Amino acid sequence: MDEPQSYRRHAITAGILFIIATAFLFVGQALYGPPLSAPDLLATASAARNRIVLGILIEFTCVLAIPLIAIVLYPVLSRVSAMLAVGYVAFRLFEAALFASQEIDRMLVLALSDAAAASPSTDVGALELFAQALSGGEAWSGISGTFYNLVFVTGMLMLNWMLWQSSLVPRWISGWGMATAVIMGVLVLTVLFVSVPDALAIALVAPLAVQEMVLALWFIVRGFDTDALTRLPAAR
């Protein structure tokens, strides 16, 4: 098989994984988000238990897809920069680990809600406080939190820089990705110190989400640029 053609499946698989990681994230959030953000957390979580479990299971697919993107792309990206390709895999694994820790916290909230429901006569104040603390951890390591997003942005900068250097995809796509990743990184650090209106935050973050989907579709429909592939150093 011709070498550029041999990488076609890597591009298609990565594109599909990008879409899964994004689409399943929003579906999972839509299911568990409202009950896990309610003021009376334990009672609400107990009443919506099946919905929350389904949301967690759907979103867990994202945890698997996130590192697989980097692993699938590694044979190609390692020919651009072995160090950055390894770094990209490491940061996506770290991102998935942060993601998984939040899924565990949500399951612990469900366990606390089950305990409270099993003993309705017990003072559940301490359990409620613990559950709120677990849920509140999302503000730092969840998908809207500082730690998670700094890791995510670093990985996206690595990926798009390698794509920019190699011209494996059009530079307007990789340049778009780097620019919006920088904007998101600045936003994540800014909200630590000042309040940013939700509408402005969404407007600043949305272009990066759109870029990921454009990149995913490009991978699926067009794949890597064959001329750029032939210019890369031979695989070691």
Of 119 and 65, the one with more pLDDT = 65
* For residues 154-174, average pLDDT: 97
pLDDT reported for residue 178: 97
Helix (H, G, I), strand (E, B) or coil at 143: coil
Residue 119 has pLDDT above 90, yes or no: no
**More reliable by pLDDT, 33 or 94:** 94
Answer for the pair 106, 32: CB distance below 8 angstroms, yes or no: yes
Q: Dig out the tokens for 66 from the structure.
A: 């996130």
In this model, does residue 154 exceed pLDDT 60? yes
| Amino acid at residue number 197 | P
Q: Say which residues have a Cβ less than 8 Å from residue 45's Cβ, sequence separation at least 6.
A: 35, 36, 38, 52, 109, 110, 112, 113, 131
pLDDT per position as a tens digit, 59-117: 888 889 999 999 999 999 999 999 999 999 999 999 999 888 888 888 888 888 888 77
DSSP percent split of the chain into helix, strand, coil, nearest 5: 80, 0, 20
DSSP summary character for residue 233: P
Instruction: Give me the chain's average pLDDT, please.
Output: 87
Determine the Cα–Cα distance for residues 165 and 162; give it in Å rounded to an integer.
5
Identify the residue whose tokens are 């995809």.
169
Q: What confidence score (pLDDT) does residue 236 get?
A: 61
Average pLDDT for 202-213: 90
- 51 band by pLDDT with thresholds 50, 70 and 90: very high
Reported confidence tier of residue 123, pLDDT bands at 50, 70, 90? low
Q: Quick check: 138 pLDDT over 70?
A: no
- So what's the pLDDT on residue 215? 97
Q: What angle do CA 98, 49, 22 make, to 5 degrees?
A: 40
Tokens for 33? 């988000």
